[in-house]
Amino acid sequence: MNLGHHREVLVINPDEDDAFAVTPAQWHAALRRAGQPPFTARVLAEAEARDALATAEIVITGPAILARLLALPMPRLRAAFLLAAGVDRLAGQPWPAGVRLLNNRGVHGAKLHDYILWALLALHLRAPALGAAQAARRWQPIFTRAIAGGRLTVVGTGDLGGAAAGAGRTLGMRVTGISRQGRAHPACERVLPSAALDAALAETDALVLACPLTPATRGLLDARRLGLLPAGAHVVNVGRGALLDQAALVAALAAGRLGGAVLDVTDPEPPPPEDPLWSAPNLILTPHVAADDPAIYNDASLDLFFATIDQPAPPNLVDLSLGY
């Protein structure tokens, strides 16, 4: 019988119905898989959670909720575990001293691999044009070569970028990664530092944005850089909407200079009803679903929580000064 201190965990779900709300059963199953370490948890909706913050030592929740709670007193808090990878919603807010921030990076890879395979192939096979022909009841063959050998550039080589690069490798594409420091990644033929981005864009058939949104990456794919891509190139964004200049992208698609785009993220989300993103030619819009597999999301996140919460240097430790 363990008489030692049980750390108090507060799991905070959205107030509204949510496909990804953590259930008490999921917590207990993960606790069992982890070998019953000494944690006790309460699972509450945000509206009910404020009082419990006074005693919580660890909070598990999403970035939007955490951003709202940061102003409240959490005197015993030592760590927060995010049910998300992106921390851009927490940027620019004061972060409480002595509190570690972990995210669930690594949970999104398998699903994102599927999504990127689909997105790259949909653009390559010209699915938007084929779909428009079907809608018009026109039988209009468009023959395209095999995708193998095409040049894929992935901005970001973390959880998402690594999975995107892996998808490119699965397709036999030649994969260039772009990261802050240009450190090698096993799914990339080469990784270049961000200073080499402009040169890489000129040699890109398909570009995937899969980096965090930080002050350094906001507006990264602006009109000038879109102009560096070869005619007919494809763009996929699974990072954050504000990584790219959406108006410039729509203009390049409308002019036929770019071959197509798949956006899973937009700025804002959702786009307002009158936004030209909804109907730009050869633009496929999906509603922020690329990387989240509901069948495993919470289980894998909680397993990662138990595996990393007490590590001295966990791989999922967030450095808010870097923004990821």
Q: Are 104 and 301 in contact (CB under 8 A)?
A: yes
* 288 counts as catalytic: yes
Considering the complex, state which of residue 142 and residue 184 has its C-beta at the smaller distance from a copy of itself.
142
Q: Please give the structure tokens belonging to residue 110.
A: 């398998």
Q: Give phi and psi for 224, each to the nearest 5.
A: -65, -50
The closest of 87, 128, 39, 48 to 213, measured between CA atoms, is 87
Size of the site for a copy of itself (CB under 8 A): 48
Binding of a copy of itself by 129 (CB under 8 A): no
Binding of a copy of itself by 23 (CB under 8 A): no
* 240 counts as catalytic: yes
> Please, what is the angle between helix 109-124 and helix 159-170, to 10°?
50
Binding of a copy of itself by 37 (CB under 8 A): no
Binding of a copy of itself by 21 (CB under 8 A): no
Binding of a copy of itself by 8 (CB under 8 A): no
In sequence order, the β-bridge partners of residue 244 are: 221
Binding of a copy of itself by 16 (CB under 8 A): no
Give the residue, chosen from 171, 235, 243, 304, that forms a contact with a copy of itself under the rule CB under 8 A. Answer: 171
Alpha-carbon Rg for the chain, nearest whole angstrom, is: 21
Binding of a copy of itself by 94 (CB under 8 A): no
Q: Are 263 and 237 in contact (CB under 8 A)?
A: yes
Binding of a copy of itself by 34 (CB under 8 A): no
Binding of a copy of itself by 271 (CB under 8 A): yes
Nearest distance in Å: CB 18, a copy of itself? 11
Nearest distance in Å: CB 163, a copy of itself? 11
Cα 308 from Cα 310, distance rounded (Å): 6
Give the residue, chosen from 288, 303, 307, 314, that forms a contact with a copy of itself under the rule CB under 8 A. Answer: 288
Binding of a copy of itself by 17 (CB under 8 A): no
**Sheet (strand 39-45) strand order:** 39-45, 7-13, 58-61, 79-82, 100-102
Q: Which stretch binds a copy of itself (CB under 8 A): 4-12, 41-49, 96-104, 267-275?
A: 267-275
Binding of a copy of itself by 240 (CB under 8 A): no
Burial class (CB in 10 A: 0-12, 13-18, 19+), 259: buried
Helices within 136-274 (DSSP H only): 159-170, 197-201, 223-228, 246-254
Nearest distance in Å: CB 21, a copy of itself? 13
What is the H or E stretch that residue 115 is in?
helix 109-124
Binding of a copy of itself by 130 (CB under 8 A): yes
Where in the sequence numbering do the catalytic residues fall? 240, 288
Q: Which spans of this chain sit near a copy of itself (rule: CB under 8 A)?
A: 19, 110-111, 113-115, 117-118, 121-122, 124-125, 127, 130-131, 133-135, 137, 139-148, 170-171, 269-271, 273, 278-279, 284-289, 292-296
